[in-house]
Structure 1
């Protein structure tokens, strides 16, 4: 079997580098019960999914050349190794997902790719995802993470891949919220410097029963993984051990994004990711002007729920537009304009008088409106 020539390999690498992976955070936080090769194969297959046009019958197609390039395999034994990797993925690999629900946690065990088809006379490989895994790959309106498949390409440890995805999940939240008004400075710092207790880190990396000595665990799961991540991805990560008594209780990581890292082509269609700080500030000015002109703003002023100091505070107005006005929209649609005005009057009369330095008008108005919608208080009840 001939090797893939350099020009063709570079073309394959360029094509792979233009793709992104998007996964729900519950999947990223799940336990991947598989080794490096099935995990990387899964990630490569996910990068073929267009979330705006989900694949028919949950099927995507890869090429063998693409797979061999991704895994940097060019020897004569590559087809046998590919077959063994597929068999191992289907026989042993699954995700153990833990979802938080109102009454506790819900657990799922999902084999992500139950069917793979290929032949010996063309380059095409058919991969069909299990239906149970698809919501974590295409239903991504909230709580999802996007990252470059090319970053994972060079990682040669299962722990490196798992931690890289976990770092991406945390840092992406920092990038998403850093110019928005609804996160505190401490919350933003926590996204850049996430902390995880050792037992949770062992569960995440599927090492609960491995490396019982902490020094072995630290070297194999943390140090070696971070060395790879720092070498081959767009992150530089440091960490410190935090003690509780005489034992190591948790690890705090500090994530920094490399300046002038490889062109992040995978974000080429992500408008928010491309905005500079100046552009974000300019966009906030536009959003602020729109929010001030919103009829709900004038209604709040007329109801003596907003004052000049509130209007002058860009953060307050942007938070109102994001957290309160959508609730008012729903309230008006369901109960009418009169109900909103009556509700505002009721809120003003019942509002606890507390000092401005402790006042959170956005939170107060949001909770009040949601409670009203949930309870469906009548106008008469509020006038009593």
Structure 2
């Protein structure tokens, strides 16, 4: 299928500007949604969400290209990559995300994308599922949203690192005035991280999911320095606490940590 994109055109984009776009989501999409996406599927969806403007009242069709997406995500430009991205878009339309609304006692089940088109030259048109509108549109009026720059999730290699990163961003409700923390039982944390059932025990979950995610985040994310603490009942771990000890911290005027307010742009 590589020849399908053999006539790919050069759609030049300011990659740095694209990577600096903000991804904003309702907190329920981070803390209450159940889904199982690969690393690249999460990144492509974040890229599409970053195209939403704060004052959008409905989803516009996202116009892009396989060339642009691969450039922004730092992927090698090749026919194989473009085929993989096409499959990623297909998966985002087919894979379920389940969001439970406690107020209405209703579970919303939908795909991430409503539809998408890919032309022979690699042009992409995609539209987000209408069912996700309450979680991505008009967030200022709803409140309870989380934002991050696209470049943060782009540079993370593990889907578990991205999931934990988003949870820690959501936990930062005081914008760095106090140390953000998430507290969960090992079982709850496994669900939030979308870990396989084979990682049900805390020891395996920590070794395969939590510790590697913390290590990668601490290495790559400038304003996160995560520390793990556990509480035990006897020998059993009954609660897991993860703190971002980067905050609170006084920053020099010459090198402040940016705290962008997406809704005021």
Q: Which TM bucket (shorter chain)?
A: 0.7 to 0.9
Question: Residues of 2 paired with 1:3 and 1:236: CA distance?
Answer: 42
What stretches of structure 2 of length at least 5 have no aligned partner? 1-5
TM-score, normalised on structure 2?
0.82
Could you tell me which residue of structure 2 aligns to residue 41 of structure 1? 44
Find the counterpart in structure 2 of residue 156 from structure 1: 157
Aligned to 2:243: 254
Is structure 2 residue 15 aligned with structure 1 residue 26? no
Superposed displacement of residue 229, structure 1: 1.2
**Aligned-residue offset at 1:209:** 1.4
Task: Map 1:286-365 onto structure 2 (within 5 A).
Answer: none
Q: CA RMSD in A?
A: 3.0
Give me the whole-angstrom Cα distance separating, in 2, the residues matched to 1:132 and 1:269: 22
CA distance in 2, matches of 1:256, 1:63: 39
Aligned to 1:242: 231
Asked whether the 8 Å contact 1:24–1:145 carries over to 2, the reply is yes
Counterpart position of 1:71: 73
Shift of 1:124: 3.1
In 2, Cα distance between equivalents of 1:134 and 1:89: 16
Q: TM-score, normalised by structure 1?
A: 0.58
Q: CA, structure 1 residues 143+269, in 2 after alignment: closer, same or farther (shift >3 Å)?
A: closer
* Corresponding residue for residue 3 of structure 2: none
- Residue 184 (structure 2) aligns with: 196
Deviation track 1:129-165 (CA, whole Å, cap 9, x = no partner) reads 1111011001312111111111001111111111111
How much does 1:97 deviate? 1.1
Q: SS where residue 109 of structure 1 aligns?
A: strand
Of 202, 210, 220, which aligns to 2:208? 220
- 2:63, 2:125 within 8 Å by CA — same for their partners in 1? yes
Structure 1 residues 23, 269: CA separation in 2 closer, same or farther (over 3 Å shift)? closer
1:356-376 per-residue CA deviation (whole Å, 9 max, x = no partner) reads: xxxxxxxxxxxxxxxxxxxxx
Q: Are the aligned partners of 1:236 and 1:255 in contact in 2 as well (CA < 8 Å)?
A: yes
For residues 258-306 of structure 1, the C-alpha deviation after alignment (integer angstroms, 9 at most, x for no partner) is 8688974x8276669xxxxxxxxxxxxxxxxxxxxxxxxxxxxxxxxxx
Q: How many residues align?
A: 249
Q: Secondary structure, in 3 states, of the residue corresponding to 1:134?
A: helix
Contact 1:4-1:74 within 8 A present in 2 as well: no
In structure 2, relative to structure 1, the CA distance for the partners of 1:72 and 1:209 (3 Å cut) is same
Distance 1:228 1:54, change over 3 A: farther
Change (3 A) 1:111 1:3: closer
Q: Which has the higher strand share?
A: 2
Contact map agreement 2:24 2:262 (CA 8 A) in 1: no
**8 A Cα contact 1:240 1:253, kept in partner:** yes
Separation (CA, whole Å) in 2 of partners of 1:31 and 1:169: 16
- Picking from 209, 219, 230, the partner of 2:197 is 209
Any residues of structure 2 matched to 1:22-171 within 5 Å, and which?
22-29=24-31, 30-55=33-58, 58-76=60-78, 77-91=80-94, 93-101=95-103, 105-121=105-121, 123-140=122-139, 141=141, 142-171=143-172
CA contact (8 A) 1:237 1:255 kept: yes
Query: How far apart, CA to CA, are the structure 2 residues paired with 1:219 and 1:4?
Result: 44
Q: Which has the larger radius of gyration?
A: 1
Write the distance in 1 (CA, Å) between the matches of 2:20 and 2:158: 23
State how far apart, in whole Å, the 2-side matches of 1:86 and 1:34 are. 11
